[in-house]
Each structure stands twice: as structure tokens, then as C-alpha cells.
Amino acid sequence: MTPDFWRGKRVFLTGHTGFKGSWLSLWLQRMGAHVTGFALTPPTDPSLFDVARVAEGMTSVIGDIRDADALRRAMHDAQPDIAIHMAAQALVRYSYAHPVETYAVNVMGLVHFFEAVRATPSVKAVVNVTSDKCYENREWVWGYRENEAFGGYDPYSNSKGCAELVTAAYRSSFFNPARHAEHGVALGSGRAGNVIGGGDWALDRLVPDIVRAIGVGEPVHIRSPHAIRPWQHVLEPLSGYLTLAEHLYTDGAKYAEGFNFGPADTDAQPVQWIVERLCAAWGEGARWELDRNPQPHEAHYLKLDCAKAHSVLHWRPRWTLGTALDKIVEWHRAQLAGADMRALTLAQIDSYLSTT
């Protein structure tokens, strides 16, 4: 990724009020991009979007991606060079209770986004962000590659498999790489999961649950201590999405494919490892307990093979999982102490960029 590339670029970002979207919005602002965001109001209170004053450096449009006309108008007004789609219903357990909403947002919302791109000739590069859960999970011990079958057991995971199929259909039908000279749009997708970082207060996510419990002096209740996930700091996949977008813009259809962005194999750790490491880093008697209540199905083992991103995009993660957890503790301790969280979040971005 080349920070200078983004200076002056017009970027349209859906989901900018969410956790990942707020981090990406600040990063784009830091690099001098002109950012227009389109999303619902922040999904949590508190939220990174509010705490870090993300709206100060961008155009923030509050809207619903299920409203095709509103989304199309917002993108037309922005006239972006690059469009990144991150808006989603992103929680597995929520999808069991709200399957219709999950599919409406994650599938038809994506269709509306692509239709808005088709109606906006200024767009040259498009990145659709899905999830590592888009793959049909067979509980393999090796990582899933980009050519594996899509699927998904629960409505959320399945909706992300559907989103990848929608992406492939639009790429073939409307943004075909073989006809790039005619339409001028290069479309790629980024797949990552189990993203962690400061400023995430979402329900039913491990690290936010840990931070909330520690903050009130209660034990952390853990559902699946032996479940293994590819944990990574939020800046890792975001750097991948930015790298992919840059290549799509610069080299056209050559990179119009799907890419996995995950951590090193050594950072695929069980839930219990994460909890114990965070509790130790926080101190002050932080502890955890097993939640013995019945739970809906969730994958036990999931890992990505990122060799394609390494070799084709020359992208690699910069922070170890230990560093990521230390940054989370630093962020939330600063927030509780009343620090300027916009400045601290930008400082963590700068720290990430300075890591080789």
C-alpha cells in the first residue's frame, strides 16, 4: 500500500459508522483522501465513530443500503474514484434471530451497491468486503484458499457466501475483466475475519465482551474456549483492502479477483488463549468463566490461506497477535482515562505504518 496514492482520491465507503469502517475512515483521512461515507447511525453506544470524532474529516451520509435510491444518489453526489463496500449485518448470533434482515442487508444491500456503481461513471475500482465465513467450513486444519467452495452454516455466514456469488456474477456480467476497456471498472473482494482492535463495543464479540466485563469488574463469560480463529488487528485486513483497491485502480482488471487477508498461522489461537492474554495484560483481577448455557452452532476451527495475497499483492501482516492485544489494552485504558481518542487512534495507525 502506498499512502501517497490516496492523497486527493475520492473514496465512497459504506459502513463508515461501524467499527472497521471508522478505522478505515480515519486512515483514509490521514492519507488525504476525500471520503464520503454511507451507513446507518453508529450501531453501538459508545461507538468508535463518535468517540474518535470520525465525522470531522469526511462527508457522512446517514442512510440504509436497503434503500437503493438513497444509496445511488449519495454515490452520484460523491463522484468517487474508488468505492469500498463494508456495510453489513456482521454478527452470527444476531443472524439466527434476524435472518431476513441479515439477507436483506448482506445480499440485496450489496446488489444495490453494485447498481449504484453501475450508475456512477467516475468509479474505477471497487472492493467488496465479505468474510472468512463465506467458505463452506469443513473444519479443516489447513487454511481455506480463494478457490474453495462458498457456503455457510448460519444465516450470517451463508449470506457472505451469497455475497461472493453476487460479486462473481456482477464481475462476469457487468464488470468483466476481458471488457475492462469498455466499462472501466475493476472489481475485487476481500475476505477476512475475527478482527479485533480498540473501539469495538459490538455485542456477542469476544474482545468487546471481555472489555465490558473487565470494565465493571466482572468475570468474562466464554462460550467456546477451545474454538480456534485467525485473530488479527483491524488494521491488518484494512491494509489489505487498501492495497487491493490501489492495484485495481492502477492496473485495472489484472487484480479483479477475491483475496484472503489473514494473520500468520501462529496467530490462529483458541479463544481461551486470547482471554487469558487480555486478562493478564489488563491486570486488576481480570478473570474469566465458562458459559455453560446452550449455544447456537458456530464453527470450531477456521483459518485462511493467504498465500495469494502474499505473492500477488505483496501484502503481509505487520503486527503479531500479542502486539494487537497490547494495542487494544492501550486503546481502552486511554479511553477510560478520558484521552483524545481521535488522536490516539490516528497514532496507532501511524505506529502500524511504521512497523516493518
Say if residues 230 and 303 touch (Cβ distance below 8 Å): yes
Nearest to 235 by CA among 267, 196, 270: 196
Query: Which pTM does this prediction carry?
Result: 0.93
Cβ–Cβ < 8 Å for 59, 38? no
pLDDT at 237: 97
101's CB contacts (< 8 A; 6+ apart) are 89
Pairing, β 34-39 against β 228-230: unpaired
Instruction: Give 240-299 pLDDT, tens digit per residue.
Output: 999 999 999 999 889 999 999 999 888 878 888 888 888 888 777 777 787 766 555 555
**pLDDT at residue 275, rounded to an integer:** 85
Percentages of the chain per state (helix, strand, coil), in multiples of 5 = 50, 15, 35
- Residue-level pLDDT at 301: 66
Residue 310 near residue 146, CB atoms below 8 Å: no
User: Tell me, what's the pLDDT at 212?
Assistant: 80
What pLDDT sits at residue 296? 58
Phi and psi torsions of 169, nearest 5°: -65, -45
Q: Single out the residue of 87, 157, 126 nearest to residue 258, CA to CA.
A: 126
In the structure grid, which three cell numbers stand for residue 41, read together?
Answer: 447511525
Res 299: pLDDT = 54
With vertex at residue 142, the alpha carbon angle to CA 138 and CA 147, rounded to the nearest 5 degrees, is 70
Q: What stretches in the chain show pLDDT beneath 50? A: none
